[in-house]
Amino acid sequence: MEKTVTSKQMLGELLEKHYKTAIDAKAEGKLVAWATSICPQELLETMGIDVVYPENHAAAIGARKDAMRFIQQAEGKGYSNDICSYARVNMGYVDLKFSEAENIPMPDLIFCCSNICNTAIKWYENLAKVLNIPIIMFDMPFNHTFDVPEHSIKYMAGQIKHAIKQLEEITGREFDYDRFKEVMEISADTARWWKKATDLNKNHPSPLNGFDMFNYMAIIVCNRGKIEGRDLFKLWHDELAAKVEAGIGPWKDQEEKYRIMWDGIACWPHLGDTYKVLKKHGVNMVTSTYPESWTVIYDTGDIEGMAKAYASNYANRNLDYGTKNVARLVKEFDLDGILYHSNRSCKLMDFRQYEVQRRVEAMTGIPSVVFDGDQTDPRVFTLSQYETRVQALIEMMEKNKELRRNG
């Protein structure tokens, strides 16, 4: 009989393989690229270039509590402690080149997409300069309108063509459009399975605790264009669907009492603490604004559609969209409350948060709190503040529930 592999095992294996393949590729003299987390990786995959993702890597370093060495190295070079800690960790890694947590090969090529933020443009520009290697820039203009404007789509499609030319020059190989179509199909498929799986959390109880979702995120970042990635999410989906069928909730030893959304990135260095405080009270994070970013879906072969899909990332869209999106999540996931991570690293997410919070509260009537943290710099977060805020959220959620119980 075939041995059954769980998605969790597969996740571990794929991650290990991801890092090992890149390191081996480098050792064999093949090209390695560093890329931003929600970039059109289809182009690199088509070219057969191995890619690693500094954001993923920095998160792994943060989660394994090794970030400070790199942060201090970068700050010693003059990087202000105000700037995104992923960038600080990564710029530190460029110098130190080794972490007990996880290692990546040095890049031969930089691939940057600004749909996550303008910070990435500066960060990656620095990488290309310091390492003296070529950079491919994908600029996705900020959408202050609800939808992506036509002239933006044209500009992005133009950039895709330009990037293909750059890739051909850098690799000395021709771009294979048939392979491109294949990769597009796989990527969109992976994104679909990712969405289908994470959407299963709409069930009561939710089959998954959201902190596990954070773990799976590493693979949606780095394996979106690969068949293994798609298979993983399909398997994960099936496992979760089976749990839903059987009515199994997120924990064996705790019931799902409250369902919340987590806004923003995790606090990687304090992942355990942030998780435990919630679990202790039966608070399950069933969704988050962040993972939806990888639901990049478009028709195979449609370059403009692909450009539009990437540019539609919520971080790159206006407040009306941001608000509507969260309000939709509240409804679809039947949320009791929202926990907003005011992430010291990410100005783009933070400086709209207060207004989104107010509007969503007005639209949905569910309570929310904000806590201070940082995705990788361990110095910002304090457990006591977090506990107090979570406690306040629970009280408000409980009151709401009581009101509902009393009709």
Partner 1 sequence: MNDLKSLLDELVEAGSNPKKTVLKSMQDTKKEAVGCFPIYTPEEIIYAAGYLPVGMWGGPTDLKLADKYLQGFCCSIMRSNIEYGMKGTYSFLKAVAISTFCDTLKCICENWKVAVPEIPLIPVVYPQNRMIEAGKEYLNEEFKRVAKELEKLSGKLITEDAINESFEIYEDFRAAMREFTVAVSTHLNTIDAKTRHLVIKASFFMDKKTYTLKIKEITKELNALPKEDFNGIKVIATGLIAEPTALLDILVENNIGIIDDDLSQESRGFRVAARKEGTVYERMVSRIVDQRGCTFLFEEAKTRGAMLIDMVNKHQADAVLVIMMKFCDPEEFDYPIYKEEIENNGIPILYVETEQQMDSAEQIRTRIQSFAEMLTVEV
Closer by beta carbon to partner 1, 32 or else 128: 128
β-bridge partners, 50? 32
Beta strands in 257-305 (DSSP E): 258-263, 283-288
Q: Please, what is the minimum distance in Å from the beta carbon of residue 265 to ligand SF4? A: 6
- Does 119 sit near ligand SF4 (CB under 6 A)? yes
Residues in the chain: 407
Contact characters 227-266, ligand SF4, x per CB under 6 A? --------------------------------------x-
**140 in Cβ contact with 114 (< 8 Å):** yes
Q: Which does 86 bind (CB under 5 to 8 A by kind): ligand SF4, partner 1, none?
A: ligand SF4
Q: In what order do the strands lie in the sheet with 368-373?
A: 283-288, 258-263, 337-343, 368-373
- Does 81 sit near ligand SF4 (CB under 6 A)? no
- Quote the CA–CA distance of 304 and 284 in Å, as a whole number: 38
- Does 348 sit near ligand SF4 (CB under 6 A)? yes
Give the range of 117-125, 183-191, 204-212, 377-385 binding ligand SF4 by CB under 6 A.
Answer: 117-125
β-bridge partners, 337? 260
Question: Phi and psi dihedrals of 86, rounded to 5?
Answer: -60, -45
- Quote the CA–CA distance of 317 and 141 in Å, as a whole number: 9
- Quote the CA–CA distance of 90 and 345 in Å, as a whole number: 13
List the interface residues with partner 1, window 309-348 (CB under 8 A): 318-319, 342, 344, 346-348
Which of 67, 84, 208, 296 lies at the binding interface for ligand SF4 (CB under 6 A)? 84
Q: Which does 168 bind (CB under 5 to 8 A by kind): ligand SF4, partner 1, none?
A: none
Which of 232, 346, 390, 394 lies at the binding interface for ligand SF4 (CB under 6 A)? 346
- Does 351 sit near partner 1 (CB under 8 A)? yes
Closer by beta carbon to partner 1, 134 or else 378: 134
Beta strands in 23-115 (DSSP E): 32-35, 50-52, 109-113
- Quote the CA–CA distance of 392 and 108 in Å, as a whole number: 49
Task: Tell me which amino acid residue 200 is.
Answer: L
Beta strands in 217-358 (DSSP E): 258-263, 283-288, 337-343
Residues that bind ligand SF4 (CB under 6 A): 55, 84, 86, 116-117, 119-120, 265, 345-346, 348, 375
Task: Point out which residues bind partner 1 (CB under 8 A).
Answer: 74, 77-80, 82-84, 87, 91, 114, 117-119, 121-123, 125-126, 128-130, 134-135, 137-139, 141-142, 144, 149, 151-152, 154-159, 161-162, 318-319, 342, 344, 346-348, 350-352, 354-355
